Chains A and B, each alone.
With several copies, the nearest count.
Chain A
Amino acid sequence: MSKLIYMDNAATTKVLPEVVDTMLPYFTEKYGNPSAIYTFAEQVSKDVATARETLAGVIGAKVEEIYFTGGGSESDNWALKATVEAYKNKGNHIITSKIEHHAILHTCAWLEKQGVEVTYLDVDENGLVKIEDLKKAIKPTTILISIMTANNEIGTIEPIKEIGAIAKENGILFHTDAVQAFGHIPINVDEMNIDMLSASGHKINGPKGIGLMYIRKGVKIKSFIHGGAQERNRRAGTHNVPGIIGFAKAAEIAVAKMDERIAYETKIRDHIIKRIEDEIPYVKINGDRVKRLPNNVNVCFRFIEGESMLILLAQQGICGSSGSACTSGSLDPSHVLLAIGLPHEIAHGSLRLSISDETTKEEADFVVDELKKIIERLRSMSPLYEDFVKKQNK
């Protein structure tokens, strides 16, 4: 393996050296518990407050509307479970989509077992929630709409402003899983009428194990993790101070260079997509071409299976991911690819390349070059391709 070409930034990202530097003092020097009253901890408490301010700023929220959690999954679980608990007198119906992250979908499945009614909206072939479907799904008992800001597999950016407006019109809370979008694309909770929002540190070159939930003032919310009085009694547990500080630093950097990064990543992304489409036959680009995360490439190569492709890519130092069942140990391929209408056998051959602003054009080209060889090689050993070619030649 030569150089490492990391194109799995939607899974997790490298922590920026400046972020690590900012975190370091909080391990060995400023290690005090911010809840303590002695001077030694007071500075830590102030630094946590500043971090909260920075993070609130990313989405136009107020400081006191930001709650720290242990990650995106916890935020998602909290948002759904606590809303159901807090609003049970109003109703017990939730609307979400078929392409949400498992942190939402599996929580919904659990809630269904507790008697909650969940509507899973279909999406169109690009992965977009259909506004008309959403409107039709609303009932008098609907308490929450939870639609992700951007999809983690195919990169499609949902019309959350429209969804927020509909939620508001109908007096329904709107939660959005912004784990893939926070710090990557502009979000404003007021303009978009977002009542709750989940984000995670490690998707924006910040640390793992820290996340946040935005909860609009006035939204009734129960605790999910009960215990100490941290986070204004809403989320117990000693503050993960280095995590919080690192998350805020990463967000600060992400916001400062957002425009520049979007422009750059979009260019590289589209270059990869164009070359794949031009140079490799029998492929399908997944996700919306325009309403798309700047760092996301998702493509299905027919007649081959994703895991084999990933291993061969890895042998060239290239890190990508696949919605293939074989990478997850289940039998069905990605629920997202099935939801946009792909047949199983095609969904199995998917590849997600999620780039960063450190991805160079040379790397992009190298990846496509290797990919061409790999696809050819795998097709040459694929019985599906054999059959396909025979059929063509008939």
Chain B
Amino acid sequence: MYSEKVMDHFSNPRNVGEMENPSGVGTVGNAKCGDIMRMYLDIDENGVIKEAKFKTFGCGAAVATSSMATELVKGKTIQEALEVTNKAVMEALDGLPPVKVHCSLLAEEAIHAALWDYAQKNNIKIEGLKPPVNDIEELEEEEEY
């Protein structure tokens, strides 16, 4: 079902983890739909992404696209990072099965959400960046299983 690249990024995901004091962090997706991606970015004073980390709840494609997205934005300027589209992520992964294309959209959104957070914190405006649709819902306090 998945390409070798996808399987590689799923089995050995790059940049998994949290960040203590990220320049920006964004969480997108929806637990109801089974996909949540959180991306942390460390951005230096020149606006270059020095480090990226992620955590993902989701399928193989979701994990692999998160991993690939962090790889792709690392070392890029904010403007360059904005051009890391879902198409770019998919291509870098040698494609995804049709039913999984939405996962790559999530990766694009996660980058945007993290950059938005960075912009908010630093009170700057990033050309071409829209506020993320934050559709992650608070984890309800269910009874313990």
Contact = CB atoms under 8 A, between A and B. Distances in A.
B76 interface: no
A344 interface: yes
Contacts of B127: none
Contacts of A308: 10, 58-60, 62-63
Interface in B59-88: 59-63
Interface residues of B, number: 34
8 contacts: A37-B1, A305-B35, A305-B59, A308-B62, A315-B11, A326-B62, A383-B38, A384-B31
Counting from the closest, the 3 A-B pairs by CB-CB distance are A326-B59, A345-B31, A329-B99
Given A305-B34, A325-B34, A282 B145 contact: yes
B105 interface: no
Interface of A: 37, 42, 45, 282-284, 300, 302-308, 311-312, 315, 324-327, 329, 331, 333, 343-346, 348, 380-388, 391
Given A283-B145, A344-B31, A345-B31, A382 B57 contact: yes
Given A42-B1, A307-B59, A311-B60, A383 B36 contact: yes
B127 to A, nearest CB: 28
A308 B99 CA distance: 15
A180 B63 CA distance: 34
Given A283-B145, A343-B140, A384 B59 contact: no
B55 interface: yes
Contact of A304 (B13, B37, B57): B57
A326 B58 contact: yes
Contacts of B57: 303-305, 382-385
Contacts of A303: 57
B1 A382 contact: no
A381 B56 contact: yes
A386 B55 contact: yes
A387 B139 contact: yes
Interface in B18-38: 18, 27, 31-38
B142 interface: yes
B18 A344 contact: no
B16 interface: yes
Contacts of B58: 305, 307-308, 326
- Interface-central residue, A45, A344, A388, by most chain B CB under 10 Å: A344
B32 A344 contact: yes
Nearest to B56: A381
Contacts of B139: 345, 384, 387-388, 391
A384 B17 CA distance: 13
Contacts of A327: 59
Contacts of B1: 37, 42, 45
A96 to B, nearest CB: 26
A33 B10 CA distance: 23
